[in-house]
Amino acid sequence: MRQNLRIRNKPQGVTVECLGEGCKWRIHASVMIGTSTFQVRTKDNE
């Protein structure tokens, strides 16, 4: 499945998109200030 994902890592967060045929989801998570915890900011299902 990993070959069908686009992963963009940045210091402030990560975005993952599914690129497979018929697969149209995307998720973005950001680092919460003052912690090492991520918070999901956007989740798109088309």
Based on C-alpha coordinates, what's the Rg of the chain? 12
pLDDT greater than 90 at residue 30: yes
pLDDT at 21: 86
pTM of the model: 0.72
Question: In this predicted model, what pLDDT tens digit does every residue of 7-18 receive, in sequence order?
Answer: 999 988 999 999
pLDDT at 46: 63
pLDDT at 44: 83
Residue 39 CB burial class (10 angstroms; 0-12, 13-18, ≥19): exposed
Mean residue pLDDT across the chain: 87
